[in-house]
Amino acid sequence: MSDQQTQLDRRPVLGCIADDVTGATDLATNLTQGGMRVVQVMGVPAKEDVAGLEDVDAVVVALKSRSIDKADAIDQSLAALRWLAGLGASRFYFKYCSTFDSTDQGNIGPVAEALMDELGVKQTIFCPAFPGAGRTVYQGHLFVGDKLLSESGLQDHPLNPMTDSNLLRVLGRQSKRSVGLLSHESIGESSQACLEKMSELADEGVSFVVTDCCHDDHLATLAEAVAAMPLITGGSGLARYLPSAYRSAGVLAVGESKTCLPTAKGRKLILAGSCSPATQGQVKWMRGRCEIWSVDVEALMENPAAEFDRVIAWATATKPDDTLLVTSTSSPQQVVTLQQQYGSGQVANAIEKLLACVAKTLVSDLGFRQLVLAGGETSGAIVRELGIQKLRIGPEICAGVPWTETVGVEPGLALALKSGNFGGENFFAVALEMLA
């Protein structure tokens, strides 16, 4: 038994590694709804840091490894795996985006491969589907609502444009492993049929299995089929059905998880760095409904300190009960122009840094305590700047986005970390009204 385990009453059943922070809360809320007690930690904690992890069923480690160099993503993911294994977890979940955000270099395939090697696992599944949020997979092709991934707006993502909807091809470019399909026919039949098909694929040397999934019943069947696998990979949809599958398999006690809204009181702040179509619509919807600062990205690139000073001066001049929204969201054409002018990494970093520094100053100097953040990379940068280490998961605002509350830091904050492409057009207002 490891030192970590001796300090815990029970071992978590499931250890999760999420490649971004909004993805982590998405996963955590789905596991919670399935009845697991879940804690989310930011980055890989120190070995001895097990506070707050007593009596949990699942622990989610939130990394910021989606758009970094693949060697670094592998190192961080392996460190997370080892820390979770040290807690006693025996099953692991690698969570990435339901829109499979990645490039030909990775990081989904290479990280999955490294985790498989570390665990001595020969086969794993790739299940990004999340029908509740409109993500389905048919014959290995990913759809967002009624559109193929490559026509859904994700083809214009600033960091990982998704221009191919065929996940077998996408993974085939990221790894030398053989990739196969578990089709909706097997999944529609039964979990036993899935196991037989996966075993056939294994005999053919297929170690990466992309799973079709058209609706929630498919996820439930798939969850049963994979309940014994040491490593599974996917979006968060499958997570909703895993707790029940684990209970049926006898590895998770019957229990319920209760969630409650965060109690932090204070000013309300929305920070949106996502350029996804959903966030663009949500920002537009807020016009006239709160005070908005649109970042002048060109001015920021020329003189970051001056743009920061302007945002803070504007925020300081607002009334104490105003809700503030600071956004850099731009149309695909504007993003391309800015990237050509300054470089995509440079623009992304400068905006993330600005929003993170604005968040820090508004929290520490102006009493903002209820924060809604839009965008995975954006949220990762802000949460890091705020020094947040653990989150308690609260009630869901929309599919995949819960309210959360910081644990163990002063001042306590209510945080909603929204995936760029999640939520209806009134998401920001709905989220904040829940706390009113």
Ligand X SMILES: Nc1ncnc2c1ncn2[C@@H]1O[C@H](COP(=O)(O)OP(=O)(O)O)[C@@H](O)[C@H]1O
Give contact residues for ligand LB5GJZVW (rule: CB under 6 A). Answer: 20, 22-23, 26, 97-99, 235-236, 375-376, 400, 419-421
Q: Tell the smallest beta-carbon distance from residue 99 to ligand X (Å).
A: 8
- In the list ligand LB5GJZVW, ligand X, none, the entry touching 338 (Cβ below 5 to 8 angstroms by class) is ligand X
Q: Is residue 357 a contact residue for ligand X (CB under 6 A)?
A: no
Closest to ligand LB5GJZVW by CB, 88 vs 132, is: 132
Under rule CB under 6 A, residue 159 binds ligand X: yes
Query: Rounded distance, CA 33 to CA 385, Å?
Result: 29
Strand partners, 403: 416
One residue of 378, 389, 404, 406 binding ligand X per CB under 6 A: 378
Name the token pair of 325: 């929204």
Query: What track of x and - describes contact with ligand X for positions 309 through 338 (by CB under 6 A)?
Result: -------------------xxx----x--x
Options 19, 377, 396, 405; binder of ligand X; rule CB under 6 A: 377
- Check if the beta carbon of residue 50 is closer than 8 Å to that of residue 4: yes
- 405, interface contact from ligand X, ligand LB5GJZVW, none, CB < 5-8 Å by kind: none
Of the two residues 30 and 323, which places its CB atom closer to ligand LB5GJZVW in the complex? 30
In the 3-class helix/strand/coil scheme, how is 20-58 assigned residue by residue? CHHHHHHHHHHHHHCCCCEEEEECCCCCCCCCCCCCCCE
Give which of 213, 205, 204 is closest to 186, Cα–Cα. Answer: 213
Can you tell me the distance from the alpha carbon of 267 to that of 367, in angstroms, rounded to the nearest whole number?
6
The Cα 20–Cα 33 span in angstroms is 20
Whole-number minimum distance, CB 339 to ligand LB5GJZVW, in Å? Answer: 17
Cβ contacts of 256 within 8 Å, gap of 6 or more: 35
Asked if residue 297 binds ligand X (CB under 6 A), the reply is: yes
Among 234, 273, 394, 423, binds ligand X (CB under 6 A): 273
Calculate the CA 368 to chain-centre distance.
24
Among 125, 170, 232, 347, binds ligand X (CB under 6 A): 347
Candidates 375, 394, 400, 402; binder of ligand X (CB under 6 A) is: 375
For residue 110, the minimal CB distance to ligand LB5GJZVW (Å) is: 18
Which phi and psi (to 5°) does residue 104 adopt?
-65, -20
The pairing of beta strand 368-374 with beta strand 324-327: unpaired
